[in-house]
Structure 1
Amino acid sequence: MPEPDALEAATTALLTVECQNGVVGEESALPELAKEARDSGMLARVAALVDAARGVGVQVLHAVAERRPDGRGANSNARLFRAAGRLPVRQLTGSRAVEVAAPIAVAAEDLVVRRLHGLSPMAGTDLDALLRNLGVRTLVVTGVSSNIAIPNTVFDAVNLGYDVVVPADAIAGVPASCTAEVIRNSLALVATITTTEALLERWDPAR
C-alpha cells in the first residue's frame, strides 16, 4: 500500500473503467467478460470502493466507452474496433448500454468521462485535465478489462506523472488467469498493487 499521505482525499481520485451495462451488464456485448466481472465479485467490490471513496471525500470518476450510431470518429484500425461495430449490443451514445452498471451507483458529485475513440479513457479525453484541475496526484484504477483498457489507463496515467494504485481484485479480464499475469508481469512494475479490503480499511477505519 502507498504511504498514508499518498491516499489523502484531497489528492486522490477513484476511476471506474468501462463498468457499463453494454460491457459488464446482464445484456453485455461481451458476455464472457460480463460473467467474469460479476461471478468473481469484481463489480460488487468496485461498488463498495465507490461508496467508501465518496464517504471520505475522494473524487469518483466513471470512464465510459461509446460510439455514435453512424460510427463517426470511431477507430477502425484494429480487429477489436471492427468487431465492436458488428456486435448485437453496441455502445451507442445515449443508450442504456453506456449507463454505469449496477450495483455501482453514480452520484451527483461524480464525473463521467465519455470517449468515442481509442483504447484508453486517458488519451484524447478530458480525464487528465479534470484530474489536474481537481489537484489529484494519486489515481485508483478499477474496472475492465485487464486485457486492454486497464493497462492502457495505468500506463497513460503513469506517463502523465500520476501515482497509480490498482486493487487487484477490483479489475477483471478474460480468461481470469490473464488478470493475474498482467498484474504480475506488467502493472506491478509501474503501479502499487493492493486489494479492495486494504483500501476499504484505509478509507473506513471502523471496519
Structure 2
Amino acid sequence: MEFNRLQPSIRMHSYLTLSALKKTLLYAIQNTLMPDEKYRILDLGCGEKPYLPLFKDWAIEYIGIDTSAGDLYGIGEFLPFRNNSFNLVISTQTLEHVDDPINLVSEIYRVLAPRGIVILSTHGIWFNHGDHWRWTESGLLKLFSPRFQIEILENGGAILCLFQFLCFYAMRVPIFREITIPIFNILGRGLDRLIAIPKFLTINYTVVGKKM
C-alpha cells in the first residue's frame, strides 16, 4: 500500500495520527497565516515534502532540508541559512529524532525573520522507531519559551491513542489486519470526537509559535 501522509488510507495503521495532524495543520494555516501575504517557507526534516500542497498558496519560496531528501542536505541543529531568512518554518515529526532539540529550536529562531512563524509537530505517545524523545505540553513550553509566543494543539485525545495502539498491535497479526485496522480507525475517529478527554493522553502535538 502506498504511504500517503497527506491523504492517508483508512487501511493504514497510522491513519488516525496522520488525519489528526492534517486537521491541526489546516487549523494552524487558517488561523495564523494571512491570506493576502506570501512567505519564504523552510520545511525542516521535509522528507518528500508531503505537506507542500497545504502551504503552496502562501509560498513565495519553499525550501526543504533533510538528511535523506529535499532540496538541501542538512540537520536541524546547523541550518545553512543566514539570520532572518524565512517568514515561516514548518517541521513535521522531526523534533523527536534530533540529537539536540534545544539547539534545533535556537536555529529555527535564528533563521526566522522578526514575527516569523513556526508550525512544528512531534510525538506525544508512539512506538519506538529509532527516535530519541517523547514530548509533553509542559516540555514543549519549556523548549520554546521565552523565544516564541506559542499555542500547543493536541492532535487527538485519549480515545484516539487507544485505537492507534490497537492498530499497531493489529499489524502484528497479518491474517486479520486487513479487517481490523479499518474498523479500529473508524471507531477511533468517531469515538474520539464524541468522547473528549483533554490533556490526559495525546498521540501527537502541534506547536504554533510566533517569534518574539
Q: TM-score by structure 1 length?
A: 0.39
More strand by share: 2
When the two structures are superposed, what TM-score results if normalisation uses the length of structure 2?
0.38
